[in-house]
Amino acid sequence: MAGGKAKSAARAPRLWVLILAAQRESQRMLSEALRPLGITPAQGEVLSVLSSHPPLTLNALGERLVCETGSPSRLVSGLVRLGWVRRSPAPGDGRAVLLTLTGGGHRLATRCLTVTGELEAELVALAEAPAPVEASALDITLRTLWRLVSHLPAGRALKRRAGKG
Amino acid sequence: MAGGKAKSAARAPRLWVLILAAQRESQRMLSEALRPLGITPAQGEVLSVLSSHPPLTLNALGERLVCETGSPSRLVSGLVRLGWVRRSPAPGDGRAVLLTLTGGGHRLATRCLTVTGELEAELVALAEAPAPVEASALDITLRTLWRLVSHLPAGRALKRRAGKG
DNA sequence: ACATCATATATGACATATCATGGAATTACT
DNA sequence: AGTAATTCCATGATATGTCATATATGATGT
């Protein structure tokens, strides 16, 4: 019955813990995968967004990022220092700054998208259910996230924790 | 074939972005909810783990945490300074430290578990599907995470991003 | 007993994320 | 025009998470 399920949610690994675990592990994996490119996941997100958008102001970029709230001024500064992004004055607005990728930035963004795609495939492989399941969407989500992290460090932490209740 | 799906994955919000978005938003919500208690989400995780386990060493605690890898020395120091956790020498091992909750720590942990439970309910309400769905577990997971974040700042960032391809 | 290696913790260093502040430019209002 | 309010960006301050190092204790092997 539904009551039993709802009740068990109180002691099962919670959604938010699973979300945290999944984020930590995917962050680690992506961080590792991007290391050869010399950029961090957050920098990769900026490159990806800039590669598929018309020149954006800092503010507009910030509105399209998940990795950071507010205006990603320092995040962009790093990429400018590395030579992948160019800041130019925005025509018609003396306050704003237009961000564009340099030539090398475009090439790096392409490589970054490849790496991101590979990581996505890796995550999907971890998360994919071996067989069709029948349960509520939330149960399926919990199980999927659990499959994703269960044999990674964060998942092992949850197992140890469950070991003693 | 699977190729069709794999191709569409290239432009859909990716699993890892959704995981990041969900983590950012749930972190914000939990952070807000715990503020009245004067603790952070990471500190809350420590209190929760300690409240349901026998005295743990720092190392054993670290093995049960998702919020941090390595040994959570500083995280615990903060809780000791606040008076919620006690460090005592481990009998039989002069290197190790046993961590226990103080009386106030126990009470705070209880309140923390209540807050965490409420947040969990809130997240579940956001994530719950309005009606039964039929799709692969992964699709369901993506949709569930999307429901969770779609009307929150991180989700709006993803919408803006998708707006221009 | 002694030398060596492994383990437990603490701490410094660094990158990152969030919040608050300040300066410059634009917009709105009178 | 002129003033006030708002917007855009940069930067300082703080907290957090990760990595590397240092120190002390325990375990191992001769």
Pairing of strands B93-101, B56-57: antiparallel
Q: Tokens for B160?
A: 């803006």
Report which of residues A124 and B112 the model is more confident about: B112
Where do we find the tokens 């003396």?
Answer: A94
Contacts with A66 (C-beta within 8 Å, 6 or more apart), sequence order = A45, B17, B20, B21, B24, B154, B157, B158
* Nearest nucleotide by C1' position to the A32 CA atom: D18
Which run of H or of E encompasses B94? strand B93-101
Convert the pLDDT of each residue in B42-81 to its tens digit: 999 999 999 988 899 999 999 889 888 888 999 999 999 9
Where do we find the tokens 């990806």?
Answer: A48
Which residue is nearest to the C1' sugar atom of C10, using CA? B73
Confidence of residue B19 (pLDDT cuts 50, 70, 90): confident
**Per-domain residue ranges for chain A?**
1-37+128-165, 41-103
DSSP letter for each residue of B45-72: HHHHHHHTSS-EEHHHHHTT-SS-SS--
Mean local confidence (pLDDT), B26-48: 92
CB-neighbour burial class of residue B70 (10 A; exposed 0-12, middle 13-18, buried 19+): exposed
Nearest to B45 by CA among B54, B34, B36, B59: B34
What is the percent of chain B with per-residue pLDDT over 70, rounded to a whole number? 87
Cα end-to-end distance, chain A, whole Å: 24
> What is the pLDDT at residue B151?
75
Tell which CATH classification among 2.60.40.10, 1.10.10.10, 3.40.50.970, 1.10.8.60 matches the domain A41-103.
1.10.10.10
Listed as ranges, the nucleotides of chain D within 7 A of a protein C-beta are: 7-11, 15-20, 24-27
Convert the pLDDT of each residue in B124-159 to its tens digit: 777 776 666 667 777 788 888 888 777 777 777 777
Confidence of residue B1 (pLDDT cuts 50, 70, 90): very low
Alpha carbon B135 to its chain centroid, in Å, reads 27
Report which DSSP code applies to A70.
S
* Nearest nucleotide by C1' position to the B20 CA atom: C17
> Which residues in chain A show pLDDT less than 70?
1-13, 129-134, 163-165
Q: What are phi and psi of B88, to 5 degrees?
A: -135, 150
Q: Please give the CATH topology (third level) of the domain spanning B14-164.
A: Arc Repressor Mutant, subunit A (1.10.10)
Residues by CB within 7 Å of nucleic chain C, which ones?
A 40-43, 67-70, 74-75, 78, 92-95; B 24, 28, 57-59, 70-71, 73-74, 76-77, 87, 90, 93, 95-97
Q: Tokens for A47?
A: 């490159």
Average pLDDT, chain B: 83
Which run of H or of E encompasses A86? strand A85-90
Using DSSP, state whether A98 is helix, strand or coil. strand
> What is the pLDDT at residue A76?
95
Report which DSSP code applies to A163.
H
Nearest to A49 by CA among A67, A30, A73, A32: A67
Q: A84 to chain B nearest CA, in Å?
A: 20
